[in-house]
Structure formats: structure tokens, C-alpha cells
Structure 1
């Protein structure tokens, strides 16, 4: 798998000295966003991904970022997280962070400008329904033989046990076990390795969100 170019695994998963920062839950999300930014051909000198290591760590990570010297030159900040089982709760958590630090609320999937900075928020899989990055990635291979194999396995497993939590994460692990010749640790890694369809409509919303958040850089590149 190619190394990430918008974050540095050796430096606690962060590139906080870039004008535009994208805060994500974990390294798997980082690899996924890294691919989409590469597709947009955004300069690595302009955009950095910040791995916060857990949805409960966003507030702390943003607080720390605001204390750095680089914050004075920051022109954009986006927060991307999973909905998990409750999209409304995820949106409320995001609102609390943006209200505390920037005195604004941002509807999921939207961007706005506040005090000269572009701000944005996105909730996987598509801002409106429960789920996660795993659900979004699995949607890109829905109906394929390996996806159906993973679905059948999950149905049989559910029939033999008590209800399983995080079903999409579990199904993704089954799918990756069959789809990859090497062990693959997560859907972000698998997405980077081409195990999911990066051109599928299920990815359009996050791709369009990134375009809107980074429109200034995209327009500069096209000029």
C-alpha cells in the first residue's frame, strides 16, 4: 500500500502546519481521505490530515490546534466523523465543538466562512443515515460476489449468536479477508489498495464536500 501523503504516520498522524486541516477519527479514515485528496491533486503543502484517535478526541485536538503558532495562518478546518448508530447525536456533538471554538453551527455536509476561515463538517456514511466509513465503502461494492459472500456470512453469524454490534465494521472485516491477498487492517487501507470502487456514487457526497471545502485551492490550481 502506498504511504499517505497528507499525514505522517511517524509524527502522531498529524500535519498541523498546513493552511487547511481535516480532522478525522482514526488512521483508517485518514487513508480514505488521503486517496480522495490525491485524486483532486491538492497540494500537500496546503492541506493536512489530523488523526485525533477517537470521536471523543475532536474537541481536545481542535483546542490544541488553536494554541499553535500555525493556527494564525490557518485558512480552513473541517471535521469528519462517523454517525455510528445516531446521526443526530453525531451532528449535535459537532455543533457543540464548532459553537465552542468558532461560535457557529454547521449542518452536516455543509461549509461556511467564519472570521475569514472556511469551516466544514461531514458525517459518514452520507450525513443523513446511521453508519460509518465501513458502510460507505461497502456500498461501493454492493451486489458483487465478495460483498454477497460477506453478507451471507453475517446473516448466518447473526442467526447463531446474540445481536452483533457494529455490523458494518464486522462485515467489512469479512469482505477484506476475502478481497485482499494480504491481511488488510481496515476499509481505508482497502480503499487505497483498490478493493472498493472509488468511482461509485456512494462516495460522491464526501468527494463533493471536499471540493466545496477546498474550492479556493482547486480554483487556484485551475487558474
Structure 2
């Protein structure tokens, strides 16, 4: 993948994305919180339906993310944010590719989970069932399993991080979006690591007042994900949300 498709930024940009996301949140805090709460309530109600509800929520996740990204884009371009923005990912031309991306998320997630279960059995479960419970062997197996599971989760995260933005703003096909997302995220791993570490700290603080701080933290993270995308791929060409 050519570096011309994306920018490489310094690690300190990871903190800047959080700050810029908070700046966007400050412009319309009630709308950001309201959109988040609306999505959480809708997801909860849909997920009540056995099996199909959870599948629907997973399939729609990328479309919801697309709506939040488009909302942050509107703000960055000086246009007002609105509740209608949340539904932008459910309209043509974004709906079909974002639903396909949601399906890809689901299938990849299931594949990663299946591989993790198989590896867990091979490395740990076989020792348990055979009665070979030597502490050293079992401990090494657990460590190896955790490392491999972490690596698989990281690959999944890198491949999906920028994919909604690439579909919404550049019109990429799902597979191409996943491939470019992985390459760009890997090329900017330092900045993403800083964002992740700062995000963990923010979540720990946000959870102190009965978790109410997450009403601010989550919208900030959503807005910062757009600033991250824009920094690495540019403003792109996105139509005004109607």
C-alpha cells in the first residue's frame, strides 16, 4: 500500500485528536450527548429481540459510526450538528456499503473469537483435560494464548479503525477500506497508541461519578475519531448532510 494514500503523523498527534474532539463536543454538547443516548436506547431496545436483535445492532454499528463521522465533519466545516446527522449513515449512498462493513465486522469478529477458542483449547484446554496440570506448562500456555489473542484483536482494530470514514468520505469498497485502514493505522501506530492510553485514563476518571462522565467521554472519543481520520487522510469530499 502506497504511503501516498495516507499521512504519517507524529505520536503527539494522538493527544491532539482528543483535544480537538473535545473542542467539537463543546460546540454542541447537548446534541452530542443526545445522539449518543438515542443510539444506546435504540440499540438496547433492538437487542431485546433474541438473536436477531443482537445481529441487527452489530450490522448497524458501522452505519451509526458513519453518521457520527459525518456529524463531526459538518461541525468541522462550520455547519450545524443535528439529530438528523445520526441517520445519515442509513441513507444512500452510504447505507449499503456501511451495512456490508457491519457484516464484515461481525464475520471477522466471529472468526477471531473462533480462532481464539481453538488456540485456547490447544494451548490450555488440552493440558486441563489430560490432567497435565504442571503450573509452568499451564502458565506458559495461558501467556501465549493471551499474547496471540491480543495480536488478533489488534489486527481487527487496525483494519476497522478508519474503514467507516473511507467508505463515507472516499467511497471505498469494503475490502479496500479494510486494507487501507490497516495500512494507515499500522503506519500511525504511535499516535494511535497515545490516543488509546489517554483514552484509558479518561475512561477511568469518567467512571468515578457513577459512570456519568462517560456521557462526555464517549462523544469526545467519537469526535476525536473523525479528527484522527481527517489528520491522516485529509478533509476528503463529503456532501452536506441533508
The structure where strand makes up a greater share of residues is 1
The alignment's TM-score, normalised by the length of structure 2, stands at 0.32
Larger of the two Rg values belongs to structure: 2
Greater relative contact order (CA < 8 Å, ≥ 6 in sequence): 2
The alignment's TM-score, normalised by the length of structure 1, stands at 0.34
